C-alpha cells in the first residue's frame, strides 16, 4: 500500500509503497477513506517532539473494516469506523472511572503495536506506527480498542475529523472546562482544533466567544464558526481588547490552542479572578512555563487537556449525530483536500496558516 513515511525530522515525508502485515490477535485491518492533517503530526516533522523513526504519522482517520484478526469481537468487516488515537481498554483504573482519554493502553503503543512489534515494513526495514493508527496510508492495522463504530450514513471523508480535532476542541469546552451558559471565552489560536473550541463554546451557550489569531484568514473562519469578537494578536493588544469586550472583567475561560508557553501565559492573563485556562496546544519537549503563583492564588485554575477529556466510543458517535443534525460544522472545517502524493504540500499549507483543516483523501 502507499503511505507517507517520516525518516527523520526536518525532511519531507517520503510517499512510497510499504508492506502491511495482516492483523494479529485483537487487531483490525481498516481501509482508510480520509485522514486529517493535524499540527500534532507537524510537531514530529519539525523536531518539536521525538518519536521512534521511520514512522507513518497520521492520527485523525476514518474508514471501513476490511479484515479482523483472531479474538476480535467489537467489529466486523464492512463496519464504518473512526479511529481513536487513544485506545480504550475498558479495564484499567482510568477507563473504569470514566477517564477513558487517559487509558493505560496508550502507553503500550509508542511506535509499535501492543505486542511490541510493527505491522509496517519496507523490505527488511521495520516502520513504526503512530499512536497505533498511522493514518497516512491507504490501509492501517490498528488495535480493536482504537475503533469507534459509527452510523453508515455519515460521510466517511468528513467524519475523519472526528478522530482528533473535533473531539479535542469541542471536548475541551464541554468535558474539560465544563463551560457554563452565558460565559465569556477566549480562544487563542483558531486553527483546526481552535475552531472546534469556538464551536464547542457555541454549543455550551457561551455569550462572548473571542477568537485570537495572527492570521486574518483564520479569524474569518472563527467568525463563521460562531466567534462573537476577533483579535489579531499580530497587530492588537490582546489583554486590552479582552478587557474592553468583557467590560473590564476579563474572561471566564481561556483556551490555548497553539502549543506556545507565551500563548499559555497570555491566555491566563485574559482570565478574571476565578477564571479557568485550558492548555490544549502541545508545547515542544522540554518547554518550561513560569508564572507568578499570586495569579493562581485568586482562585484561578490552570488545566491540561488531552483529547478533549473525551470517551471516544460515546462522544464520537454523539458528535457525528450533531453534525448530521446540522448542529456541528465539519464541511466548513475542510478548506483543502489533497492526494497522499501531495501530503508535503498539505503540511506546508498548515505551517503557513493557509488552511483551517485539510484532509488526505484515499
- Positions in the binding site for ligand PAD (CB under 6 A): 38-40, 43, 164, 168, 188-194, 212-215, 218, 233, 257-260, 263, 280-282, 305-307, 350, 353
Q: Which does 188 bind (CB under 5 to 8 A by kind): ligand PAD, Zn ion, none?
A: ligand PAD
* 85, 164 contact by CB (below 8 A): yes
Sign of CA dihedral 330, 335, 341, 343: negative
| Nearest approach, Cβ of residue 355 and ligand PAD (Å) | 7
Residue from 337, 331, 339 nearest 362 by CA: 339
Q: Is 139 in a helix, a strand, or coil?
A: strand
| Nearest approach, Cβ of residue 323 and Zn ion (Å) | 18
Q: Which is nearer to ligand PAD, 118 or 175 (CB)?
A: 175
Using CB under 5 A, which of the segments 4-12, 30-38, 108-116, 271-279 binds Zn ion?
A: 30-38
Strand-pairing partners, residue 188, are: 212, 256
Q: Which does 353 bind (CB under 5 to 8 A by kind): ligand PAD, Zn ion, none?
A: ligand PAD
Q: Is 83 in a helix, a strand, or coil?
A: strand
Residue from the set 5, 38, 208, 343 that interacts with Zn ion by CB under 5 A: 38
**Does 40 participate in binding Zn ion (rule CB under 5 A)?**
yes
The residues that are catalytic are 38, 40, 43, 59, 164
Cα 6 from Cα 13, distance rounded (Å): 5
Using CB under 5 A as the binding rule, the residues of this chain from 153 to 172 that contact Zn ion are 164
Q: Is 200 in a helix, a strand, or coil?
A: helix
Which residues, in sequence order, are CB contacts of 297 under 8 Å at separation 6+? none
| Nearest approach, Cβ of residue 268 and ligand PAD (Å) | 14
DSSP 6: B
Cα 103 from Cα 293, distance rounded (Å): 31
Q: Which residue is nearest to Zn ion (CB)?
A: 38
Q: Which is nearer to ligand PAD, 203 or 303 (CB)?
A: 303
Q: Which does 39 bind (CB under 5 to 8 A by kind): Zn ion, ligand PAD, none?
A: ligand PAD
Joined grid coordinates for residue 63: 474508514
Contact residues for Zn ion, defined by CB under 5 A: 38, 40, 164
Amino acid at each position: 500500500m502507499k503511505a507517507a513515511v517520516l525518516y527523520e525530522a526536518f525532511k519531507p515525508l517520503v510517499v512510497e509503497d510499504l508492506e502491511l502485515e495482516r492483523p494479529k490477535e485483537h487487531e483490525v485491518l481498516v481501509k482508510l477513506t480520509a485522514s486529517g492533517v493535524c499540527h500534532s503530526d507537524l510537531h514530529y516533522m519539525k523536531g518539536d517532539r521525538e518519536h521512534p523513526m521511520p514512522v507513518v504519522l497520521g492520527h485523525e482517520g476514518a474508514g471501513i473494516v476490511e479484515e479482523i484478526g483472531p479474538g476480535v469481537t467489537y467489529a466486523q468487516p464492512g463496519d464504518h469506523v473512526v479511529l481513536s488515537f487513544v485506545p480504550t481498554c475498558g479495564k484499567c483504573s482510568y477507563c473504569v472511572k470514566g477517564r477513558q482519554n487517559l487509558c493505560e493502553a496508550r502507553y503500550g503503543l509508542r511506535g509499535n503495536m501492543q505486542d511490541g512489534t510493527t505491522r509496517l515494513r519496507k523490505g527488511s526495514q521495520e516502520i513504526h506506527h503512530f499512536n497505533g493508527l498511522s493514518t497516512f496510508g491507504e490501509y492501517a492495522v490498528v488495535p480493536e480498542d482504537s475503533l469507534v463504530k459509527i452510523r453508515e450514513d455519515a460521510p466517511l471523508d468528513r467524519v475523519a475529523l472526528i478522530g482528533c480535532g473535533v473531539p479535542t476542541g469541542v471536548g475541551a469546552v464541554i468535558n474539560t472546562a465544563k463551560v457554563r451558559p452565558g460565559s465569556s471565552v477566549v480562544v487563542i489560536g483558531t486553527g483546526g482544533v481552535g475552531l472546534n473550541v469556538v464551536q464547542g463554546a457555541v454549543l455550551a451557550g457561551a455569550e462572548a466567544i473571542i477568537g485570537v489569531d495572527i492570521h486574518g484568514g483564520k479569524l474569518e473562519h472563527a467568525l463563521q464558526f460562531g466567534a462573537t469578537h476577533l483579535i489579531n494578536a499580530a497587530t492588537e493588544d490582546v489583554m486590552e481588547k479582552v478587557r474592553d469586550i468583557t467590560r473590564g472583567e476579563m474572561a471566564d475561560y481561556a483556551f490555548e490552542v497553539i502549543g506556545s508557553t507565551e500563548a499559555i501565559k497570555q491566555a491566563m492573563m485574559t482570565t478574571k479572578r476565578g477564571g479557568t485556562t485550558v492548555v490544549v496546544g502541545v508545547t515542544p519537549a522540554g518547554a518550561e512555563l513560569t508564572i507568578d503563583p499570586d495569579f493562581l492564588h485568586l482562585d484561578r485554575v490552570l488545566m491540561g487537556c488531552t483529547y478533549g477529556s473525551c470517551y471516544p466510543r460515546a462522544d464520537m458517535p454523539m458528535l457525528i449525530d450533531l453534525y448530521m443534525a446540522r448542529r456541528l460544522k465539519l464541511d466548513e472545517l475542510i478548506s483543502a483536500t489533497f492526494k497522499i502524493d501531495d501530503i508535503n504540500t498539505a503540511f506546508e499549507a498548515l505551517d503557513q496558516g493557509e488552511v483551517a483543516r485539510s484532509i488526505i483523501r484515499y
